A and B are shown apart, each in its own frame.
Chain A
Amino acid sequence: MVECPSCARLLEPRLICPECKTPLAFELDCFAALGLPRKLQIDLAMLESSYHNLGRALHPDRFANASPQVRDASLRATALLTRSYRTLRDPATRAAYWLELHGYKLAENNQRVPPVLAGLVFEAQEELAELRDLDGAAGPDAATARARVQTRQVEVEGLLDQSSGALDRIFKTLDDADTGAAPPAELVMRLKVTLAEGAYLATLMRDLRKALDSRTAA
């Protein structure tokens, strides 16, 4: 328990004093900052409304006439709130953060091509190179190359959907298995692999989209 510097009430560390509504600049984890349990599954509507309610109460706009100390606390608390919201809103960054809280690190080798995707990535790179070489030229060759990249894009879109579905299932399994102790190592491993695959697919998707967009512009 800590003491509110303004009204001296004893409280759990949080961003705002429930008694006197003073913003508090405690260093909290992202879940605690938003007043949410440390779960992987989050109701996004609830997350947003929690963010908006706290934002309304904490924002520096509300304390323009307050003392420098209160203004500073409001600024820090809002910055933490915003960062927490962004971290938790996206399932991938939320999972990475959750792993960090449990003492795991997403390894540097996250950049490496996940083995199951190796074949797909190789073929996609070939198709992208082909499209690049034709560099916006008209004619049947360019049209074919473009069509191939488009087909690939549809495929990757489907894989991304599958990947996010897989992530949801692991989230549920891990939340159900949560006993307050360390999460099972095998599930953590599966989470990391799924995250790595999802991240790689997202990068690939960006490349495909960029290639198609720049050709359209040219």
Chain B
Amino acid sequence: MSRIFGIDLGTTHSLIAVIDNGTPRVLADLAGGALLPSVVAFLDDNRTCVGTAAVELEAIGDVNAVVIRSVKRYMGLGQGDLAPEDRQRYTFVDTTSPVVSFKVGARAWTPPEISARILIELKRLAEAVLGGEQVERVVITVPAYFNDGQRQATRDAGRLAGLDVVRLVNEPTAASLAYGLQKFTEGRVAVYDFGGGTFDISLLNIKGGIFEVLATNGDTHLGGDDIDRAIVEWLLADVAPELATDRRVWNRARAAAEAAKRTLSDAESAELRLEAGNRTIVKQLTRGTLERLAAPLIERTLQCCTRALADAGLQATALDAVVLVGGSTRMPFVERATAELFGREPLCSLNPDEVVALGAAVQAGVLMGAQSDLLLLDVVPLSLGIETMGGVMERLIHRNTTIPTSTTEMFTTAVDNQTHVDIHVVQGERELAADCRSLARFKLGPIMPQPAGLPRIDVTFLVDANGILNVTARDQRTGREHSVDVKPSYGLTDEAIERMLEEAIDLGEQDIEQRLLITARNDAEQIMTALRKQLKEYVELCDPAERERMEGAARKLAEARAGGDRELISRLVEELNEISRPFAERIMDQAIHQAVEKHTLQEL
């Protein structure tokens, strides 16, 4: 049997890892990068590129490409869940289907299909590094607080990528496995996982190789993305609020905000610079301002922690260790806030970007039978129940119940000769079913016509080790299995997945040549944009003949870029580079002169 790989399918970055002789390691691509940006760019209806190439396409602002970031936030969502800001950033298809679909040209793409592109890219990356070994079976991590629909969507993404998803593992639990391997964590541990798009807190008891989750809480729409958005809103608020609706300006502002946020993990102040239309907005972001902007979001994470502690029946100070996971925990503010809440210094000795993927690889090792001393006992994050008469939610499986778990309920008919019983399964903590998340509707039957109340059907609700609900039904008297016809409320049906798989085969795999073409086009776009800007700003630094030569070369390159000849594009990029080098050097000289003059003037 082939090896099992561990995948962290993150909101902003994704990684793939594997375990060798008990030591997990993240697989880096040939350029040394292990973090694959979870960004997918659609060049037209059929061609996509993923990762750094997609980020570059976004940076250039190519109007023909649709670039989708943070697709994880849309997993398991219905159209009714979309916020105005989602519609501002992306165009969605309005269909009768309850599943969200992004509109790209003439095609509709569901979040699992887009996530599948990321998974395929990770598979390719790993196979290129390992040379010959196939990636077929995987463990994929999900936020602990993902509901059933979001988990199903993740599993569907794996299926659409042609992978066998052996197990879904909760991200904080995976992180605890990676830390636990180092043996310095025995006892009660809190894992505070603040990533790009989601927040989780899990409390575990680790004893003799058993990692038992006591309680978990979180928010699947709370992460670094939200901090970036708060910075962008602050940046634009008093100078140019009207720009917030321009998608391209927003993308650039977001990138600038993220960069500034990262800088502020070490520095006290960072400059934000945004070119928008014919103006340039420059603002200083201090760490104090960043912390003020982030405070309401951090406060929400602390509330989740308090709820988890209450569910576990633990005092915040009763823990033996606190572990920080996820890129957003690099903010000094987060370290301070968690240290204060738990009354102890948090641990962050493992790279917070990699620890989840490492843990996924450890769990893959457990599943391969190589780590038989370890066992994960996770919980269901949100209560599962059914809608009863009057719309009240009846809880069948309470939140924080260890999985796998099951419960059996008896159902009967309400009127004579009823041939079907409809069951509506919901998930959440609210009293009314309408306030909880609808998961699926089941139709039980056909039932033999009988007087009301006579048929007795046992329905078993079983939550497996992935945290996914399975339903089976059996007639109490005949012992015969009933068919259960599942209609997921916000998910893909099996038929839809089959259809997508067939379509994907038609599309075929984009080959290396195509990817190189994309990169060459990006290079071309970059050099042309820079040149256009310089020709406008430094008119006095080139004579008309030279200008004519450069513009001629740029025109030739623009024509080639529209075509598909990669080698031609690359050659013309080189050519334009050569022709414009003296001009670029003059610009550089002038800049140095001016800097020196300014310096001397100040000294005078």
Interface residue count on the B side (C-beta < 8 Å) = 26
Contact status A62-B404, CB under 8 Å:
no
Q: Are A55 and B377 also in contact (CB < 8 A) when A75-B462, A78-B404 are?
A: yes
Q: Does A79 have its Cβ within 8 Å of any Cβ on chain B?
A: yes
Q: Does B161 have its Cβ within 8 Å of any Cβ on chain A?
A: no
* B-binding segment of A10-18, A80-88, A96-104: A80-88
B404 nearest CB across to chain A (Å): 4
- Residues in A whose Cβ lies below 8 Å from that of B4: 64
Q: Which residue of B lies closest to A64 (CB)?
A: B367
Contact status B403-A82, CB under 8 Å:
yes
- Residues in A whose Cβ lies below 8 Å from that of B403: 79, 82
Cα–Cα, bound, A149→B4 (Å): 56
Q: Are A59 and B465 also in contact (CB < 8 A) when A64-B367, A64-B368, A79-B406 are?
A: yes
B300 nearest CB across to chain A (Å): 14
Contact status A76-B366, CB under 8 Å:
no
Contact status A62-B369, CB under 8 Å:
yes
Q: Which of A56, A64, A82 is close to B404, meaning CB atoms less than 8 Å apart?
A: A82
Q: Does B271 have its Cβ within 8 Å of any Cβ on chain A?
A: no
Q: Does A65 have its Cβ within 8 Å of any Cβ on chain B?
A: yes
Cα–Cα, bound, A102→B463 (Å): 29
Contact status B401-A86, CB under 8 Å:
yes
Contact status A75-B402, CB under 8 Å:
no
Contact status A64-B166, CB under 8 Å:
yes
Q: Are A83 and B405 also in contact (CB < 8 A) when A61-B366, A64-B166 are?
A: yes
- Count of CB-CB pairs between chains A and B under 8 Å: 59
Q: Does A60 have its Cβ within 8 Å of any Cβ on chain B?
A: yes
B422 nearest CB across to chain A (Å): 25
Q: Which of B199-226 contact A (CB under 8 A)?
A: 208, 210
Q: Which of A52, A56, A64, A82 is close to B405, meaning CB atoms less than 8 Å apart?
A: A82
Contact status B210-A55, CB under 8 Å:
yes
B351 nearest CB across to chain A (Å): 26
Q: Are A75 and B375 also in contact (CB < 8 A) when A55-B210, A80-B406 are?
A: no
Q: Does B71 have its Cβ within 8 Å of any Cβ on chain A?
A: no
Contact status A60-B404, CB under 8 Å:
yes
Q: Which of B3-39 contact A (CB under 8 A)?
A: 4
Q: Does B167 have its Cβ within 8 Å of any Cβ on chain A?
A: yes
- Residues in B whose Cβ lies below 8 Å from that of A65: 1, 367-369
Interface residue count on the A side (C-beta < 8 Å) = 18
- Residues in A whose Cβ lies below 8 Å from that of B368: 64-65
Contact status A61-B462, CB under 8 Å:
no
- Residues in B whose Cβ lies below 8 Å from that of A80: 406
Q: Return the CB mask of B61-105 against A: 1 if under 8 Å, else 0.
A: 000000000000000000000000000000000000000000000
Cα–Cα, bound, A55→B464 (Å): 14
Q: Which of B373-390 contact A (CB under 8 A)?
A: 375-377
- Residues in B whose Cβ lies below 8 Å from that of A55: 210, 375, 377
Q: Which of B1, B376, B406, B407 is close to A61, meaning CB atoms less than 8 Å apart?
A: B376
Contact status A56-B210, CB under 8 Å:
yes
Q: Which residue of B lies closest to A65 (CB)?
A: B1
Cα–Cα, bound, A76→B369 (Å): 20
Cα–Cα, bound, A86→B405 (Å): 10
- Residues in A whose Cβ lies below 8 Å from that of B401: 82, 86
A214 nearest CB across to chain B (Å): 12
Contact status A64-B167, CB under 8 Å:
yes
- Residues in B whose Cβ lies below 8 Å from that of A60: 404, 464-465
Q: Which of A64-117 contact B (CB under 8 A)?
A: 64-65, 75-76, 78-80, 82-83, 85-86
Cα–Cα, bound, A60→B464 (Å): 9
Contact status B375-A61, CB under 8 Å:
yes
Contact status B367-A61, CB under 8 Å:
yes
Q: Are A83 and B406 also in contact (CB < 8 A) when A52-B208, A61-B375, A62-B369 are?
A: yes
Cα–Cα, bound, A159→B407 (Å): 33
- Residues in B whose Cβ lies below 8 Å from that of A75: 404, 462, 464-465
Q: Which residue of B lies closest to A80 (CB)?
A: B406
- Residues in A whose Cβ lies below 8 Å from that of B363: 61
Contact status A76-B462, CB under 8 Å:
yes
Cα–Cα, bound, A64→B405 (Å): 18
Q: Which residue of A lies closest to B377 (CB)?
A: A55
Q: Are A61 and B465 also in contact (CB < 8 A) when A56-B375, A82-B403, A83-B407 are?
A: yes
- Residues in B whose Cβ lies below 8 Å from that of A56: 210, 375
Q: Which residue of A lies closest to B210 (CB)?
A: A52
Cα–Cα, bound, A52→B404 (Å): 14
Q: Which of A1-59 contact B (CB under 8 A)?
A: 52, 55-56, 59
Q: Which of B359-374 contact A (CB under 8 A)?
A: 363, 366-369, 372
Q: Which residue of A lies closest to B401 (CB)?
A: A86
B42 nearest CB across to chain A (Å): 35
Cα–Cα, bound, A86→B4 (Å): 32
B396 nearest CB across to chain A (Å): 12
Cα–Cα, bound, A55→B377 (Å): 9
- Residues in B whose Cβ lies below 8 Å from that of A61: 167, 363, 366-367, 375-376, 465
- Residues in A whose Cβ lies below 8 Å from that of B407: 83
Cα–Cα, bound, A41→B366 (Å): 35
Cα–Cα, bound, A76→B460 (Å): 11
B127 nearest CB across to chain A (Å): 22
Cα–Cα, bound, A60→B375 (Å): 10
- Residues in A whose Cβ lies below 8 Å from that of B208: 52
Q: Return the CB mask of B157-193 against A: 1 if under 8 Å, else 0.
A: 0000000001100000000000000000000000000
Cα–Cα, bound, A86→B379 (Å): 12
Cα–Cα, bound, A78→B403 (Å): 8
- Residues in A whose Cβ lies below 8 Å from that of B463: 79
Q: Which residue of A lies closest to B364 (CB)?
A: A64
- Residues in B whose Cβ lies below 8 Å from that of A76: 406, 462
A195 nearest CB across to chain B (Å): 19
A109 nearest CB across to chain B (Å): 20
Q: Which residue of A lies closest to B212 (CB)?
A: A52
- Residues in B whose Cβ lies below 8 Å from that of A79: 403-406, 462-463
- Residues in A whose Cβ lies below 8 Å from that of B464: 60, 75
A89 nearest CB across to chain B (Å): 11
Q: Which residue of A lies closest to B376 (CB)?
A: A61
- Residues in A whose Cβ lies below 8 Å from that of B372: 62
Cα–Cα, bound, A212→B121 (Å): 52
Cα–Cα, bound, A52→B372 (Å): 13
Q: Which residue of A lies closest to B366 (CB)?
A: A61
Cα–Cα, bound, A75→B464 (Å): 7
Q: Are A59 and B375 also in contact (CB < 8 A) when A52-B208, A64-B367, A82-B403 are?
A: yes
For the A-B complex with A61-B465, A86-B402 known, give 19 more contacts whose Cβ atoms are closer than 8 Å: A52-B208, A55-B375, A56-B210, A59-B375, A59-B465, A60-B464, A62-B372, A64-B4, A64-B368, A75-B465, A78-B465, A79-B403, A79-B405, A79-B462, A82-B377, A82-B403, A82-B405, A83-B405, A83-B407
Which residues of B line the A interface, CB within 8 A? 1, 4, 166-167, 208, 210, 363, 366-369, 372, 375-377, 401-407, 462-465
Closest 3 A/B residue pairs (Cβ):
A79-B406, A64-B367, A79-B404
**Could you pull out 29 A-B pairs where Cβ atoms are within 8 angstroms?**
A52-B210, A55-B210, A55-B377, A56-B375, A59-B375, A59-B465, A60-B464, A61-B367, A61-B465, A64-B166, A64-B367, A64-B369, A65-B1, A65-B368, A75-B404, A75-B462, A75-B465, A76-B406, A79-B406, A79-B463, A80-B406, A82-B377, A82-B401, A82-B402, A82-B403, A82-B404, A85-B402, A86-B401, A86-B402
